[in-house]
Amino acid sequence: MSSKQQAVRARPSAGWALLGSELSVLFRRWRTWAMLAALAAIPVLIALAVRLSSRDPGPGQGPPFLDRVTQNGLFIALTATVVSIPLFLPLTISVVAGDAIAGEANLGTLRYLLAAPAGRIRLLAVKYAAAVAFCITAALTVVTAGMLIGVALFPVGPVTLLSGDTISVGESVLRLLLIAGYVSLSLAGLAAIGLFISTLTEVPVGAMAATAVLAVVAQILGALPQLDWLHPWLFTHHWVGFADLLRQPISWDAFAANALLQGGYIALFCTLAYGRFASKDVLS
C-alpha cells in the first residue's frame, strides 16, 4: 500500500495536459468547425456579391471600405471584420464561453473532471484560456479568409491608408493581422463575461444566449446619445475603434484604451467566476 501511495503522490506534473486536452476537445467538435466555416463565409459572400454585381459600389455606400474592394482585394478582410464585429463574432464567442462550465455540468462530465481532480481554479483557467484561443482563431479566420478571397477575386496592391500614406502589400497584411489581434482582445472581455455566466447555470444554451444578448444590449446602449456618460464603461465601447491602426505612423491610443477596458472586464468577471465556481455545489 505504501509503495502505491508513493507512486500516486509522486511529482504532480505542471498540468498543461488539461489545456491540451481542452483545446483538442474544442477543436475536435463539429460545432467549432461549423462556426469557423460560417465566419469564413462572411468575407467570401461579400467578395462574391461585389464581384458578381454589374455596378461597383459607389463611394460611401454599404459597409465601410466596401467601395475600395474593387481596387484592392485586401479591403475585403477589413469589410468582413467590420461586418462581423457587432453580431457574428460575439455570437460564436458566446457559444464557446457560455458552454465552458455549463456544458460540462450539462453532460455530467464536470463531476468527473473535479473528482479526477482537475482542481476548480485550474479548470476555470483552462476553460478561459481555451475560450481566448477560440477568440483569436475566430478573428484570424475572418481576416485570413478575407485576404485569401480578396487575392483570388480582385487585384491586390499597395494600400492607401486613412492618413493618405501608402504602405506595401506585406505591411498591409501585418496591419490586418494586428487588427485581428485587436478584435481578439475585444472578444476576450466578452469571453470572461460568458465564463462567469456559464458558472451560474447547468443549461449551456441559457448561458450562451445570455452572453450574446449582453453583447447586443451593450452595443445598443452604446448607440444611445442620452447615455454618453455610460459609454466609456461598456465593454463594446472600443470594439470598432481599430481605425487608428490604419494610420501612418500607427496610433496605439485606441489599442491601449481597449486593452485597459478589456483587462478590467477580464479581471472583474474572472474573479466573479472564481468566486462563484470555487464554492459551488456540483450536483449535476
Residues lying near other proteins in the complex (CB under 8 A): 1, 4-5, 7-10, 12-15, 17-18, 20-21, 25, 28-30, 107-109, 111-119, 123, 279, 281-283
**CB nearer other proteins, residue 13 or residue 54:** 13
Phi, psi of 203, deg, nearest 5: -110, 100
**CB nearer other proteins, residue 12 or residue 249:** 12
Contacts of 186 (CB under 8 A, 6+ apart): 85, 235, 236, 238, 239, 258, 262
Q: How far is the CB of 40 from other proteins (least distance, A)?
A: 22
- Listed residue (58, 84, 82, 83) closest to 70, CA to CA: 58
Q: How far is the CB of 33 from other proteins (least distance, A)?
A: 12
Q: How far is the CB of 205 from other proteins (least distance, A)?
A: 16
List the beta bridge partners of residue 166: 160
Q: How far is the CB of 21 from other proteins (least distance, A)?
A: 4
Going from the C-alpha of 99 to that of each of 26, 94, 183, 203, the distances in angstroms are 11, 8, 21, 9
Q: How far is the CB of 176 from other proteins (least distance, A)?
A: 33
Would you call 272 exposed, middle or buried from its count of C-beta atoms within 10 A (0-12, 13-18, 19+)?
middle
Going from the C-alpha of 167 to that of each of 32, 87, 144, 248, the distances in angstroms are 35, 30, 19, 9
**CB nearer other proteins, residue 28 or residue 55:** 28
Q: How far is the CB of 14 from other proteins (least distance, A)?
A: 8
Cell of 123: 479548470
**CB nearer other proteins, residue 118 or residue 191:** 118
**CB nearer other proteins, residue 9 or residue 55:** 9
Cell of 111: 463531476
**CB nearer other proteins, residue 36 or residue 215:** 36
Cell of 136: 483569436
**CB nearer other proteins, residue 113 or residue 210:** 113
Q: How far is the CB of 110 from other proteins (least distance, A)?
A: 8
Identify the residue whose cell numbers are 477596458. 261
Identify the residue whose cell numbers are 458578381. 52
CA dihedral 232, 91, 179, 265 (to 10 degrees): 40
List the beta bridge partners of residue 159: 167
